[in-house]
Structure formats: structure tokens, C-alpha cells
């Protein structure tokens, strides 16, 4: 597909910026999906994409998801995302992230960035040297640091909501939960689940991460090729997206899918199939909103206690999604979309009306001053 065909297929984006600096090896894409509720906020992912088309598809899907995530979380933010094409293990440098920061700064606050897969608080410190439009910066700079624990806590609250709604469970004690992916979010989620006395099984393509987590929390491991089809009560994907696809959906042996990964459904129709199979799906952009809530608090003036407390809203947000899904007899992803789109339409419309009136008032005042 051509670039314009991809843009048409993956949503009506307001702006897509291609960032290139040959000298430092920067190849990045910033996608601003929607700013009806506020400036677009979303992290910067660094990943060794196979090609530029793959990177563009990823950033378009992720930025759209951020719009819906902010809307369902009740935040006055829009949706955006950035991807840097490169290997985060070998191609990072101060110059690369500072060059990226210059591009972010050129957008004058329409896009606010943060860390994401493949980037760290240290990387955001370099970006911050070139632009104020960055969150998740080190605590020494007045930021909140790593948002992963807050994302993971939100996921835990979402898992509790799903277990309560679908299984009638008031506790996760003794419940079997499989966690796919042991990055910052996944490993923090394991800790929370162990604290809840759940029976936890973990998997990751990085064997060293698996060993560290298993030794630290006394949990059991499952081979990466088997984790998706492992028999469990709750499957928590916390790695990359599209884990629910044509190949895996017929082999699932879980009652609930509730994890921190973005874009867990390869296609929307897979959400329809999950509903037919009576597998409750917690829409990813609702359940993993804890990190976004955390950095939103940072924009207001950071308080760790307030940020942690805010992530508990994920429970209520998902309960509302599940209620709408049941009442209207629609898949959960559709219910979440409807709730998000309704808020964007209503609140975004109010803001546009107010801005229009303010503009007309200002024009009238200028006319008076010119006489």
C-alpha cells in the first residue's frame, strides 16, 4: 500500500510527521490522531521494524488507540504516538533522542511524548533537553519517572473487574493467571498478582527475564510457544499486539483476556469471535490506561499518591464497558468505542463551541479598539 492508502485505512489522523536526521541515524514517525479533548499524548516506541510501512501501520494504530484511551479514562487529552525505527539495544544515543526532541518541540505542544516499549526514563531526559513537551521524565526533574507500575496497577484493577463481572469472583486468590511478556508492565503485574495470592504463570522470549521473575516471585514459567494456548482462568497479554488472531483464537483456553498490551485484537472481528466463545475481553486501551493517568497527573503537578489512586478508576471504566456490552448485546470492544466516541463528540463539541464564541468576542473587541 502507498502511504496515503495506509493513512486512509487506519483512521482519520490530524497530522503525521516523518522525522529524519541522517547524521544521528534518526528515522521516526509522529502521529497525531485527535486533539478534540486536548493535546495529543502518547509514548515513543523504539523498535527494529522490518520496514517503514510496518512502522507507519503501528504508529497509526497506536495513536488512534491513545485517543480512545484518554477519552474512556475521562482525561482532557487527545491521542498521539511516536515510533523510532531502530534496535533499542544497539542504536540508542543522546544525539538521536535530542534530535527527536527537536521534532517534538516543533509541534508546539500539540503532541506530548513519554516513554514506551524500547525507551526509558533516561531517553526521555535527553528529549526533555530539547522540549518541555515530554512526560515520564526523571523525578529529579520534577517528573514521575517510570509509569509502568501505574499501568500495571490499572491492569490489576481491570483484571479484578473482569473476574467480578464474568466469574462472580470477589478475589483473585487461587485464580490461575498467565502473563505473557515480562517487560516493565508485565513484571510489575506479576508482583501485584502474587500479592493477591493468584496462581501465576509467566512467559517471555527473553529467558533471563523469565528466570529473574520466577526466582523473585516464586512463579512458574511456560514456553513462549505455549503461553497463549495454556489453560487458565485469565490470560494477560503484556507483550506486543495482535496476540488474538486467526491462528490463536481457536486454541485459546481461557475465560478472560485482560492484559496491558496494545492492539491485542489483530482485527475487530476477532473481538466478535471472542464474544461468541464466551471469552470476556477487556479492551486494551481501557485496561492499560493507568500509565496515561499517571503522566496526566504529572502535567497537573505530580503526586504519586494521587496518580496511584487515579488508576483505580480502571475498575469502574471497565465495569461500565461490560454493562454496555451486555445491555446492548455487542462485543466489549464496540462498547468501549461507543463510550469513547460519545465523550469525544459531546465534550469536544462543547470545547469547539466555546472556542468559537471566544474568537467572535475577541474579533468584536478588536473592532472596537480600532475605531
**Grid cell at residue 180:** 505473557
Residues counted in the chain: 371
Distances (CA, A) of 234 to 92, 166, 258: 36, 11, 7
Q: Residue 15 gets which letter from DSSP?
A: E
Residue 54 CA, chain-centre distance (Å), reads 18
Residue 91 CA, chain-centre distance (Å), reads 24
Q: Do the beta carbons of residue 36 and residue 75 sit within 8 Å?
A: no
**Secondary structure of residue 170 in the 3-state scheme:** coil
**Which residue among 22, 27, 81, 89 is the active-site one?**
81
Q: Is 81 a catalytic residue?
A: yes
Strands 26-34 and 15-21: antiparallel
Integer-rounded Cα Rg, in Å, for the chain is: 21
* No. of helices (H) and no. of strands (E), the chain: 13, 12
CB 303: neighbour CB atoms within 10 A?
A: 13
Distances (CA, A) of 151 to 120, 204, 238: 15, 19, 11
Q: Do the beta carbons of residue 251 and residue 229 sit within 8 Å?
A: yes
158, containing H or E segment:
helix 148-167
- Which of these, 87, 79, 71, lies nearest to 10 by C-alpha position? 79
Residue whose C-alpha cell is 490499572: 154
Distance CA 314, CA 259 (A): 12
Transcribe 189-235 into DSSP letters. HHHHHHHTT-EEEEE-S-HHHHHHHHHHHT-EE--TTTTTTS--SEE
Q: Tell me which residues are annotated as active site.
A: 81
Amino acid at each position: 500500500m502507498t502511504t496515503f492508502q495506509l493513512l486512509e485505512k487506519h483512521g482519520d489522523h490530524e497530522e503525521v510527521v516523518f522525522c529524519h536526521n541522517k547524521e544521528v541515524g534518526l528515522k521516526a514517525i509522529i502521529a497525531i490522531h485527535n486533539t478534540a479533548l486536548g493535546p495529543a499524548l502518547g509514548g515513543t516506541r523504539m523498535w527494529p521494524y522490518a520496514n517503514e510501512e510496518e512502522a507507519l501501520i503501528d504508529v497509526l494504530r497506536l495513536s488512534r488507540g491513545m485517543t480512545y484511551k484518554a477519552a474512556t479514562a475521562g482525561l482532557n487529552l487527545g491521542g498521539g504516538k511516536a515510533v523510532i525505527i531502530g534496535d533499542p539495544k544497539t542504536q540508542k544515543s543522546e544525539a538521536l533522542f535530542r534530535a527527536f526532541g527537536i521534532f517534538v518541540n516543533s509541534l508546539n505542544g500539540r503532541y506530548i511524548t513519554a516513554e514506551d516499549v524500547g525507551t526509558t526514563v533516561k531517553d526521555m531526559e535527553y528529549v526533555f533537553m530539547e522540549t518541555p513537551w515530554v512526560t515520564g521524565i526523571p523525578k529529579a526533574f520534577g517528573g514521575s519517572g517510570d509509569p509502568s507500575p501505574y499501568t500495571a496497577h490499572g491492569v490489576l484493577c481491570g483484571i479484578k473487574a473482569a473476574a467480578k463481572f464474568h466469574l462472580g469472583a470477589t478475589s483473585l486468590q487461587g485464580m490461575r493467571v498467565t502473563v505473557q511478556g515480562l517487560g516493565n508492565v508485565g513484571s510489575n503485574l506479576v508482583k501485584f498478582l502474587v500479592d493477591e495470592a493468584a496462581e501465576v504463570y509467566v512467559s517471555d522470549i527473553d529467558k533471563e527475564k523469565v528466570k529473574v521473575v520466577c526466582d523473585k516471585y516464586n512463579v512458574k514459567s511456560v514456553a513462549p510457544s505455549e503461553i497463549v494456548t495454556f489453560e487458565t482462568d485469565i490470560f494477560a497479554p503484556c507483550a506486543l499486539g495482535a496476540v488474538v488472531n486467526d491462528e490463536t483464537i481457536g486454541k485459546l483456553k481461557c475465560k478472560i483476556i485482560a492484559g496491558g498490551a496494545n492492539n491485542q485484537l489483530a482485527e475487530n472481528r476477532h473481538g466478535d469471535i471472542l464474544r461468541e466463545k464466551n471469552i470476556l475481553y477487556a479492551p486494551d486501551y481501557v485496561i492499560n490506561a493507568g500509565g496515561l493517568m499517571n503522566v496526566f497527573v504529572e502535567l497537573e503537578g505530580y503526586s504519586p499518591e494521587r496518580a496511584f489512586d487515579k488508576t483505580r478508576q480502571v475498575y469502574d471504566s471497565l465495569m461500565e464497558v461490560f454493562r454496555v456490552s451486555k445491555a446492548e448485546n455487542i462485543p466489549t470492544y464496540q462498547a468501549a468505542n461507543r463510550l469513547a466516541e460519545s465523550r469525544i463528540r459531546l465534550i469536544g463539541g462543547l470545547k469547539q463551541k466555546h472556542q468559537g464564541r471566544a474568537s467572535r468576542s475577541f474579533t468584536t473587541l478588536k473592532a472596537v479598539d480600532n475605531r
